Every structure is written in C-alpha cells, then in structure tokens.
A and B are shown apart, each in its own frame.
Chain A
Amino acid sequence: MSTRISKAGRLLDRNKRLSFTFNGRNLFGFQGDTLASALLANDQVLVGRSFKYHRPRGFVSSGVDEPNALMSLGHGGNFEPNRSATTVELVDGIEAVSQNHLGSLDWDLGFINNFFAKIFPAGFYYKTFMKPRFAWKHLFEPIIRNAAGLGRAPSLPDEAAYDYFYAHVDILVIGAGMAGLLATYELAKSGLKVTLVEQKHYLGGYALSDDFEVDGVAVPKWLENIEKKLIDSDNVQIKKNFTAIGVHDHGYLIGCENLEVAEKMGRSSIRHRLWRLRTKQIVLATGAIERPLIFAGNDIPGVMLSSAALDFYKLYGVSPGDRTVVVTNNDSAYLTAINLYNAGLSVPVVIDVREESSGDLFESLRSMGIRIEYGKGIASVLGKKRVKAVELCSLTGEGSVQETIECDSVIMSGGWSSAVHLWSHCGGRLIWNDQLDTFLPDASKSPIDENGEDFIAVVGAASGSFWPSEVVQNVKQIVQKIQKKFKTSKVKSSSISIQEIKYGDSNSKYFTPEGASEKLKSKCFVDFQNDVKLSDLRLATQEGYESVEHLKRYTTLGMATDQGKLSNINGLKYLADFLGREINEVGTTTFRPPYTPISLGSIAGEARKGLFKPVRKTTLHLWHEANGASWEPVGDWRRPYAYLKKNETIEQAVSREVTNTRNALGILDASTLGKIIVSGPDAANFLDLMYTNMISTLQVGRCRYGLMCNENGFLFDDGVVVRLAEETFLCHTTTGGADRVYSWMEEWHQTEWWNKRVFIQNVTEQFTQITIAGPKSRLLLEELGGLDVSRVSLKPLDYLEGELAKIKARVFRISFSGELSFEIAVPSQFGLEFWEKCLETGSQFGISPYGTEALHVMRAEKGFIMIGDETDGTVIPQDLNLGWAVSKKKKDFIGKRAQERIFMNDPNRKTLVGLSLQNSSEKIPDGASVIIGGVDQANDNVIGHVTSTYFSPTLDKPIAMALLKDGKNLLGRSIEIPVDSEKILKAIVSEPKFYDAEGNRQND
C-alpha cells in the first residue's frame, strides 16, 4: 500500500496537520502536501473513473499533466469540477469528491461500458445510431451526453473575485527548475531586470528530487542557495503559482497566478489573477514531461510515471506501494528504483526494454542486487482497482507470459518530451530529434516579434539539454546571447562544478511487447482520460485517418484535459511506425494556448456585474432613477423608456406622456444624442461631402436636417446640423451613432480630404441637451427668461445662443415630436440645475418628463424615420421619401455614386408607406411581413415588412409604417398582414403621416 515514509518529504512541515475530506471520508495531510500526495499517503490509490469506459484510475503523474485524478472541490458558489488533485496545494478543510461514476467510485455502474468496449472502439458512433432518424436526438444522444462530461456543472454563480495585472518585463524566465534558476541568477548578475515565474508552489522543479551534487553540495541545497540569492537581488522578481498560459504576438504573454491558497487563508481577496505581460525577451526553462510506456493494463491504479513516484517520495514522503515493479526505456526510472529501495521498499524487478544499459545508476542497481531484466516487457498488468502483479514477457514476440511477478505498484518511464508548448504558440516550429527522442525548438524558425527578431530563448531540458552539466553550458550560452542583445557589460558566468551521475543511452521503444496481439492492444492505453487504446489507433489508421489531425479527431487522442501532454508523442510514434515515415514527416499538431486550462473567471477578470460594459450616464441619470424611470439600453447608455407613476403600467405611462406633451408640456433628456463640432475655413465644404444635403448654403443661426450615407449609398445616420458661425457647425447624430459619425468624419478628413482645413471635435458629453416640447413650451422658455424666443425671433429651424434662467444655453427650434419644440443645450455642469428649473417653472403649465417610447410614438405619428427601425443597412434615403434631402446639385458626396447604380433605381425597391388598420384597434405586430394577393402563395406575395408600429394615443388607433415594394403605387390599396396561422390583419396603405401632416403645430 501507499504510505507516508518518515525519511523523505522535503516540502512537508510535519508539525502542521491539515484535515480534508475525500468522498466524505475525513483524512489528514501535512502542510506542504498537494491534494494528490495527501490522498496517496492515505492509500487512496483509486481516485477517478475514465471518460468512456469508466475504468478505475489512479495517479499517473504528480503535475499538470495528470489525466486521471480529476475531482470536484468545494460546494455552492465555490464548487469547482475537474480539478486535477496534483495541482491543488493542500489547505485545511478541502472537500474533494471523485467524478464520473454512477454509484460510488468503488462500485461504478458505468463500468458496464467496459464490457461493451469491443463494440465501442474509436469512432463507433460514426457508424451507428442512424436509424430510426429521430432516435439520435431523442435516445442515443441523450445517453451519450449523460455518460460523457466529467464533473458536474456548478449550480451557483461564482463567489470568487478575479483581476488583471499588467506589467512590462525585460526578461521573463518561465520555469524555475535548475535551468530557470541558474539563467535567472546569471542574467540578474549582469544587471538585467528579470522576472522568474514557476507554475508550482515551490522552486526547483525535478532537480529538487534528484540526487546529484553541485559544487560539493546536494542539488536541493544548492538550488536553495540560488533562490536565497535571487530573493535578495533587487532586479529579480519571483512569482510562484504562476503559469505562463500563452505566448502571443509581439512579446505579449498571458499568465495566470493561482492565489487559491492565499484566498482560502484570507490573505487575498482574489482567486486567480491574470497577468498580461509585455516582454522584451522570454527564456523558456519549462523542462520536460515524462511519457508513459504503453502496455496492457497500464491504466490500472498503481501504475504511475517514475518521475511522479520520485516526486511523491522525495517531496512528500509518500511511497507508491510496498512492492514496485519498474518498467522503462531509459535510466531515469533507475533513480526512482534506487530511492525506493533505499527507503526500505521492495523492488522485485526492473524491466528494461533496452538490450543493456551502462552508467552510474545501472552500477548502483546492480550493487544493490536489484534484479534487472533487459530486452523484456510487460505482457499485462493484473488487477482491477489496484495493481496486483505484472506478467513479464519478452519484448519481441506477442507477449506470452514468462513469469508473473506480484507487486502493488508499477512505475514506468517511456522517455521524456521537452515542454515546448510555449515555443509553438506564436509560430515557432518544432523539429523531432531522434537521438533525444523528443521534439525540440527549431532555432531556424523561431517566433518573431514586431521587429522580426527572435524573442524566445530556450534553456535546459526544454531545449534538449537534459543533463546537469549540459544545462550549465547551455545556460551560459543563452545568457551570453541575451547579454549581447541587451548590450550589458559582460559579466563572467559563475564556474559551477557538477558531480554528475552518468546516465546510459535511452531508446525509443514506446510499447511492449512489440508483437502485441489484438487482445493486448485493446488494453494498452495511450490516452488515459479519453480511453484511447493502441487498438483504436490501429483502427483509425486502418480506416485511413492517418494525418495527425485526423487521427486525433477520430480517436480523441490528446483531446483530454491534459491536452495530450502524456499521449501525443506516443500517438505520433505509432503513426510514424504505421506509415513507415519519420516523425518529422508525419508532423505534430500545433500547440495552442492555454498551456494548462485556466478558469473562465480569470479570463473575464474584474469585468463582471457592474463593471461589465459600464453604463454611460447623462448628467440627469440619477434624477431619472429617482423619478421612476424604466430603463432602456441604447448604445452604451441607458435612457428612460418611460417614467412610471404609482400603479401605472408602462403602456399607461407612455400614453400619459404622449398626451401630456401633445396637450401641454413635455420635457425630455436628449443628452445622449451625438454632438460634433466641425470648424475651420473648409468646414462647410467638408460637410457637403459628408451629408447628402447641401450644408454650405445653410445660414449662420439656422438648422437643417441632414442625412449621412456610406459609400454604398445606404443611409446610416441622421441629425440636425446647425451653423453656429461662418466656419463652425454643430452636427447632431443619433445616440448610437455619435462615436461612429465622429470616427467617420475623422477618417475621411485624415485619409481622403486631408487638405481641407477643418477641425472635428466630439462634444457629446460636454452638453446636457433637453427637449421642451408641447404647445406651452414657448411659455415656459419665456418664463425662464433671458432670451427672446418669440415667433418672430426664433422661427422654425432657427438657433439662438444666450442665457436662459441665467444659465448659458443654446436654443434650437427643432422638433422630432411634431409639437412646438425647443432643444436646449447647456454646459453639462449646469444640466441638472437647468432641468430642475424647467420642472419647477413648468409645473404651472403641467410639465411632465417623457421617455424614449413616448418620443417614438410621437415621431411615428408624424412619420419621421428612426435610424435602425426604418433603416437596416440596405435602405437609401430615396426609399424613405427623403429624396428631398439628397442634393442633386453637388458633384460629389459620400454615397452619391453608389446611389446611381442599377438596383438603387429599380422601381421594385421598397419604399416607406403608412398603414392603417381596417376594423381593428389592436397594434400591428413589430416587424410583421406584409403580403398582397392572399396568403396561399405567401412567400411569392411578400412585398415588405412593418418597420414601426405603435398604438397612437393621440389618434386613438394603431398606426404603422412599412417598407413595401413599389410602395408609392400602393397608396390606397388594401394589404394583408398575417399574424399567425389563423389571424390576418387587413390594412390600407397610406402616406406615412398620421398627424398634423401640414406641420402647423411645430411651425406655430
């Protein structure tokens, strides 16, 4: 069994006992444990179930590559599924629950799948479940969906907080193993600013578990000394629990700092922090990842990587079992064997697929009297929920059993893959190295930054320098290169003497036995989590899925949560063997971010709830809020849709607001409308190009309704243009269009008509704009005092500037409601004061605020168009009977040429008309289609759609506007509006003007 061993456990503080639960069972661990090591110390070897066959699974690795030990942590708003126990630092009170089983972890009903495994090989679902057709959606798929998935979904919103940090970094060293620490130390010595990040909660990497000596001390001690020096160094920053997630263009790096422990201990309010780093130089010291060997039963709990076993033992003082069989293709598993043996555990045999080995470790093994079997493999591992024995066989041949060796754990090593993911993220190419049996960064095709220069250097095992003395040499070279790049004065690198352990050559065998029968192949797991077996790879290649990507997609190899860290290379090796090609020809799939999965919460950062797309607020926002506003989002703003009084429905409120404005006095916050100042000697001329109308003929002090089209001729914004002075214009835009129109003008000015002397300024937020509308609006303005707003002095479309109620104001006599109406702009800081004065003074005239819906009802009653309702990106002004606002005289304006094209003059174009219902008082539905000539051939008879529709309180009947094909010629005709399968409304086509068509009210 797995137990705690007192001799080892470098990271543990045995004085601090921590309690936690697994599947409800109370367990204990120590400060410094990971959840994985603590579970293993409690002999919890079975920790999960596989995705497809629900096979029992145990720990394979001790790090981020762990595919099996996924569990759910916490509960309620802190619940988190699919957490790999090897990456969770133990704290008091963790509640862990295993996943993906029906019934208990030990007795999983889902295991029944395993009995059907033969019928369910890779891609079986492509070949069946097709009949009867509806059964896929209603029977087969639901079964598959419920069986799939790993953990449960959280049921409550996340309670935690996340944030972003930004930093500029000269040199970022990723990975604090021996290479990373040494590189940081050497770079820092030459005065460079270095940031060192490490994904684990401790520094040292695999070297911390190693047995060699440096400068006469054991390597862990030596690393500790370097760490101390770095901590004292002013130009070094060290971040633990920090995973470099992705390298992006131009030296941009996303990193995720895991603050879960600090959060749980109350030292941090943040759970995960996403770092956005702009680096000048990245040094990858990401090490290597050990690969499993493939043999039948290699997924049975108790089979783990030799590096994991060594980590568990050295760092956490946990044994993998009492009797451990070792199987390997290289010497690194020897080190683990030696350590286990020295801990007093039994190592009955080391099975080595090589013919022989030399080197120091071999010598040690031999001197200890440990049995080594060369040229042998494992035919099968026996056991169900735990390893019971292994069957020894010859490497060649089809796996006939030579001997059954009892054991309770198996450690394996199939060689090492350099962790080159980050190199690949941003375009770096990889190249297979046969001798080292791994992909390495191809220096001739490295990721480049904005200047076309390399910005990533790779050191240590990630670059193929696996041995300590190589690492020292390699770091030296890279440091010199970087010193040169940063032009620092040369500092001699430290001389380091390594008392190295000599390793023998590894070989590239990845499965045993070589002639495995089909039966064995169907128990040889390549991807543990997704249950991809050697037999699946065989089937896929047999069926022609022999591009790497096809293989991967067909079998789901490497698509598990470890993203193929353990499985990809073995799969590739199989493919290369099958095709009889070199791995380099077969290729690898490109690594994409994230290196390890990161929480969606961390990606979103602080931008949630109130900070998610913050609301733009006018100066009157708070007043609206306090006075019953029912909000409507418009662009980034919120505008009052209507102001609700007690016991009033929205419809009643809108109706009241319309009636009050039509009969007495209404007031509207129009501040969100865009306001753009265009000034300069060529301003008039420039605006002639921007608008379809002639703007240059506008008199100072006058207003004109203008239209803007794009170069395709389509209408995209409208608003009133005011000539404030000879060379100064104020252009109003729609609420949503302010930024768009501003950038539109800037773009044309800077990129096409740069010789025009104009200056464009977006002053939208500088002014509070208030509409006073209704027959009593002039009375109110007169009462406010300060400006002569009489019929004679302020005619329709006139503009005046002065003081109203002692506040500096611009008054425009323009109307979107059809009533006598004034729009008044006051500097923002006086907005609320002016608004309140209007309300106070206006109370004698029955003033009442109205919202956007009342505004829309009134404009529709008048037949005024609304951008976004009457337009949809395919409408030209002529369609909306606005041909009068399109100049025929101007030689050029934006949209003019496009409007001359064939389809723009097609008589069949849809034009704007009004609709009046016959015999019905209900509102015509929004967006309804309009047909003529009966519904039988409905789609041939469709002539258009309803663009705006309201119930008009003024006329006490429904009104609507529609865009209909050849609408002009339909005036007076009857059309149909199908509402649902039974109901068809009938309406008469009219001019789109329902109220005061002559405009007497607004022109009063």
Chain B
Amino acid sequence: MTTATAPRATSAPARVGVGERALAERRLGWMLCGPALAVMVGVTAYPLARAVWLSLYSYRITDPAGRHFVGLRNYGVVLTDHLWWSDVLTTVVITVVTVAVELVVGFAFASVMQRTLVGRRFIRTSILVPYGIITVVSAFAWRYAFALDTGFVNHVFGLGHFAWFGHRGSALFVIILAEIWKTTPFMSLLLLAGLAQVPRELLEAAEVDGATKAQRLFRVTLPNMRAAIMVALLFRTLDAYRIFDTVFVTTNGANGTETVSFLAYRQTITRTALGLGSAVSVLLFASVVLIAVVFVKGFGVDLARARGER
C-alpha cells in the first residue's frame, strides 16, 4: 500500500488534488468491490436472516396456510430430540477422526512431496486428482467397493459376506475413509507450503548438534510450521463438520450415520418442514461459528496473517 500513501506527504498547495485523488480512489475501490460484496452478502445474509425468521414458525411448504408463530419451540423440539444429539455425535466423530488422520497422512504426503526429486510432477498430479474429483463420484467408488453385491473388498480380504453398511461403526469407517481419501490432498498442500517455511539452517544446526530425527521433527519442524498447521486444521475441521455428499451417497443416513447437515436437508427439502428444518440449519450455522471462534480465540489462529493479509 506504499504507493497509495506516498503522495500524502506533499506540501499544502497540492493537498486539494490529493484529496480528490484519494476520494476518486475510494470511489473506485467501492465500485470494484461492490458487485462481489453484493453477491456474497445477498445470497448468504438474506437467506440466513430468513432461516432465523422461519425457524420461529411452524411452517410446511405443503401447508402454507397453516403457518403460525411458535417462538423458540422448534429449537426446543430439536434440542430435546435424541436424534439431534445422535447426529451431532456422528458428525463430531467423523470430524475428529477424519481431521486427525488427515493431519498425519497429509504431513507424510507433504514430506514425500518435499523430498522427492524424481517424478515430482507425477506425484503432485496423483495427489491433486482426489482434490478435483467430484465428491459424489468418490463416494460411489467407495460405496461400490464395500457393497455386498458389487464390492471387491470382502472378496479380496476374505471377509465373507460382511455388510459394511449394515452397522454404524463399519459404515462410519467407510464414510471416514472416503472423506480422508478425498480431502487429504488439500491438507497436504497447505502443510507442504508450511514445510517450505521451516528455516533450513535451523534443521542443519539441529542435525550438527546431534538431534535425532524425531527431535528434529518435534522440536524444530513442527513448531516452525504451527501457523500453517492451525490454518489447515481450521479449514478442514469446518469442512468436515459440514459433511453431506458422502453420507447421502453411501448410506443415505441409515444405521446411525446421519449427520447434522443431512438432518437439516431431510427436514427442509425432503420433509418440506421449513420451520423445524430452519431451526436445525440455524443450529448448524451456530456450531460452525462456535468451532471457528474456538480456533481463532482459543488456539490463537491468526487468520489475517496466515492468509497473507497483514
């Protein structure tokens, strides 16, 4: 921003021109940002406000005339329902396991990418493919791989006729596996950028001083890429918490695999209970905000700095 501020130091007679210039710059700034801001806020703020408003009503699309104000009763219904808490638990389990495994696997991928000299391009390509692939497609691949009829997993591993999607634990295992496969690339690329920031001299100095591999990893590498790790964790946690596509395709929420997003979808779109569904949506939004606040305030993730904005 140096160029923008530099002319301001000029003497008094020039100030009128500078003021006009600054004003023109301001106007141009808002003109350029206006459309983007309008689209971003228009499609999120208004519907969100409407979701909050709808959540205070008993309202089904199939019965518009029967819409009536119920206050916070929808929230009461959701929060006292066993299903809501079961879905929250499922979502939290998926989020925690997925992100934890991804952090380790993603770090391993990043280390491999950083060290590999031969075939770097090829490895980067193969890591990026899951990132670009449609989530629904990846979910189908995993579903068919584990399915009783079409699957090869039972066959190859000699598991007989084990119904992977018939039990909560094994169904969640497949869902988590599919999620990890699809989203580890994103994690590993953020970590690779973090790895590049670790000063080489520090690692060399540690090696000269006789530090073991583990010591160098835990005392030098990881502390120096803390910012990158935290940002990657924040983005992936928020993303994992919103899981929907994979659940829809693999189990359709059956056998205790329904997630919070899936519940919101089922209430609003499938059951067209917009009032109750909006209450679920607002609660989902609130929990995402809570996660973000915990990361930013609790763990001190400096997003502005981490995202390149000083």
State yes or no: do A and B come from one complex.
no
